[in-house]
């Protein structure tokens, strides 16, 4: 059986070996952390660049969309104004049409009066012709 000193020496040897392994692993881990820290910084820069680019692109598109909306609003206002004018014109035409209808009704009445007058004149003309025929029949003939 090994003595206490031999066992202690063996324990020290194993402990020293484990410490070396831990130191190696720690050095590797520190190197990886350093590398990953650099990678993370690059990723953050890229994310910032993408975010800036995206923000600029969105700003451009939002400004363009707002300009289109402004143009559409102007067209809508002009269309509303034109529609109001058309409605006024239609109302005016309706009034004019009512006047025309009244004028036509008046002309129909006047025409009915003219027809009566023509009928009366025809009758008078017939009477005059009959009277002239009687007068001619009574006149002596020229030889």
| DSSP codes joined into one string, 57-91 | HHHHHHHHHHHHHHHHHHHHHHHHHHHHHHHHHHH
Mean pLDDT of the chain: 93
Q: What is the pLDDT of residues 81-122, one digit of tens each?
A: 999 999 999 999 999 999 999 999 999 999 999 999 999 999
CB contact at 8 A, 11 and 18: no
Q: What's the confidence (pLDDT) of residue 143?
A: 61
Give the Cα separation of 143 and 133 in Å (integer).
19
Question: Once rounded to an integer, what is the mean pLDDT over residues 17-46?
Answer: 94
> CB within 8 A of 10, min separation 6: which ones?
2
Place of tokens 């392994």: 21
Q: What's the confidence (pLDDT) of residue 2?
A: 82
Residue closest to 133 by CA, chosen among 121, 125, 122, 123:
125
Question: Once rounded to an integer, what is the mean pLDDT over residues 21-49?
Answer: 95
CB contact at 8 A, 108 and 115: no
pTM: 0.48
Q: What's the confidence (pLDDT) of residue 138?
A: 84
CB contact at 8 A, 112 and 104: no
Q: What's the confidence (pLDDT) of residue 141?
A: 75
């Amino acid at each position: 059986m090994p003595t206490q000193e031999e066992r202690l020496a063996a324990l020290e040897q194993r402990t020293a070996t484990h410490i070396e392994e831990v130191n190696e692993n720690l050095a590797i881990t520190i190197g990886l952390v350093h590398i990953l820290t650099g990678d993370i910084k690059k990723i953050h820069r890229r994310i910032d660049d993408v975010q800036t680019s995206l923000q600029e692109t969105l700003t451009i598109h939002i400004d363009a969309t707002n300009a289109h909306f402004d143009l559409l609003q102007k067209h809508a206002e002009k269309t509303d104004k034109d529609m109001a004018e058309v409605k006024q014109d239609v109302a005016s035409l309706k009034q004019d049409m009512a006047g025309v209808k009244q004028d036509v009704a008046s002309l129909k009445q006047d025409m009915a009066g003219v027809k009566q007058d023509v009928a009366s004149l025809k009758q008078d003309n017939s009477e005059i012709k009959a009277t002239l025929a009687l007068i001619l029949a009574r006149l002596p003939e020229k030889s």
